[in-house]
Amino acid sequence: MSAPASKPSALPARRLRRSEHTGPLAFASLPLAFLLLLFLVPVARLMLLSIEGGTLAHYERALTDGLYVRVLLGTLEIGLYVSLICLLLGYPVAHFLATASDRWATIGFVFLLLPFWTSLLVRTYAWMVLLGRNGVVNRFLLETGVISQPLPLLYNMSGVLIGMVHVLLPFMVFPIYSIMRRVDSGLLLAAEGLGATSWKIFQRIYLPLTLPGVLAGTTLVFILSIGFYITPALLGGGRVLMIAVLIEKQIREFLNWGFASALSVVLLAAALIVYAAFRRLMQSDLRWS
């Protein structure tokens, strides 16, 4: 990780000049240089902070202190819940978009993308208005007699999950949608002709064929969710701690950059491990793709 950080500017510049005539690489070299300079280098430097002074003390603390271990596990758990809920909601939505007529697909996409046109902060506050004790949701349910006591939807896990799923759902839908579009409908007809019921067609043909999309969407949502900050901070009301909240605290309140950096690295490692495990689990199912 330290290699690119040592001479950050010379390498990309030289490569850019030399590969002017080599097609794709030249084409990609400017964005590559951009990524290297503005993303990889700062990340590498941040990581270096965690082992400053040649000690692993920050890591020791991150991995043994009960609070941080608990919050890290809790973060992974929330990531898992969010991924699962997004998958359950997103798979049918993706299927609808992939099979609907052009007109309905367009309408569906507009609804799906609408939240992107609003700032994350605004959306999160909007959920606070909707989910509070006297929020729109509770008032409606009380007045229609569905419930007699207001549901605790805000400043707890359900609030965090609702808010995060709302933000992350499109990241689940798009990868699955793009895979579904490529499924040859002739295969489904063939399966039907060979005697398969609708359920069997789904279970044996459609689901396995869309699995790469499921893997991509789930990975994306999981990795994005475990780094969430604003949504759990506001909708969790301080009762749902995610690792990003703690990292921010370390930097803003304690100015402990080294420890914050160690926590970030642990989070990144956890994400990679979960991803690798997930991939391995599905390896035999993905051999064909």
Partner 1 sequence: MLTKTATRAPPADADLALSGIVRRFGEVTAVAGVDLAVHRGELVTILGPSGSGKTTLLKIIAGFELPDEGVVRLKGEVITFAPPAKRGIGMVFQNYALFPHLTVEGNVAFPLEMRSVPRAEIRKRVAAVLQLVGLAEFSARLPRELSGGQQQRVALARSVVFDPGLLLLDEPFGALDRKLREQMQLEVKRLQRRLGLTALFVTHDQEEALVLSDRIAVMSEGRIEQLGTPEEIYAHPANWFVADFVGESNLFRGRIVADDSGRSFALIGNGVRIAVPKSSFVDGNDVGVLVRPERPRLLADGEVADNVARGRIVEVVYVGESVKYRVRIDAAQEILVRWPFRERGGKLAVGDDITIGWDVSDMHLVST
Residue 88 or 207 having the CB closest to partner 1: 207
> Rounded CA gap, 65 and 49, in Å?
20
Binding to partner 1 in span 61-90, by CB under 8 A = none
Determine if 208 is a binding residue for partner 1 (CB under 8 A): yes
Determine if 30 is a binding residue for partner 1 (CB under 8 A): no
Residue 114 or 187 having the CB closest to partner 1: 187
> Rounded CA gap, 277 and 232, in Å?
26
Residue choice 6, 195, 199, 252 for contact with partner 1 (CB under 8 A): 195
Residue choice 187, 269, 272, 281 for contact with partner 1 (CB under 8 A): 187
Q: Encode 14-40: b = buried (16+ Cβ within 10 Å), e = exposed.
A: ebeeeeeeeeeeeeebeeebeebeeee
Amino acid identity for residue 69 in this structure: V
Determine if 209 is a binding residue for partner 1 (CB under 8 A): yes
CB of residue 279 vs partner 1: minimum separation in angstroms? Answer: 16
CB of residue 181 vs partner 1: minimum separation in angstroms? Answer: 16
- Give the x-and-dash track for 127-166 against partner 1 (CB under 8 A): ----------------------------------------
Residue 135 near residue 153, CB atoms below 8 Å: yes
CB of residue 3 vs partner 1: minimum separation in angstroms? Answer: 39
Amino acid identity for residue 227 in this structure: G
Residue choice 105, 128, 137, 196 for contact with partner 1 (CB under 8 A): 196
> Rounded CA gap, 35 and 37, in Å?
6
Residue choice 149, 186, 252, 253 for contact with partner 1 (CB under 8 A): 186
Q: Which 3 state secondary structure label does DSSP give 183?
A: coil
Residue 191 or 266 having the CB closest to partner 1: 191
Residue choice 62, 78, 191, 241 for contact with partner 1 (CB under 8 A): 191
Give the ranges where 182-235 is alpha helix by DSSP (H).
185-193, 198-200, 207-226, 230-235
Determine if 193 is a binding residue for partner 1 (CB under 8 A): yes
Burial of 55 (0-12, 13-18, 19+ CB in 10 A): exposed
CA distances from 64 to 58, 71, 217 (A): 10, 12, 32
Determine if 282 is a binding residue for partner 1 (CB under 8 A): no
CB of residue 63 vs partner 1: minimum separation in angstroms? Answer: 40
Residue 184 or 253 having the CB closest to partner 1: 184
Burial of 150 (0-12, 13-18, 19+ CB in 10 A): middle
> Rounded CA gap, 94 and 205, in Å?
17
CB of residue 287 vs partner 1: minimum separation in angstroms? Answer: 7
Determine if 54 is a binding residue for partner 1 (CB under 8 A): no
**Interface with partner 1 by CB under 8 A: which residues?**
184, 186-187, 189-197, 200, 204-205, 208-209, 285, 287-289
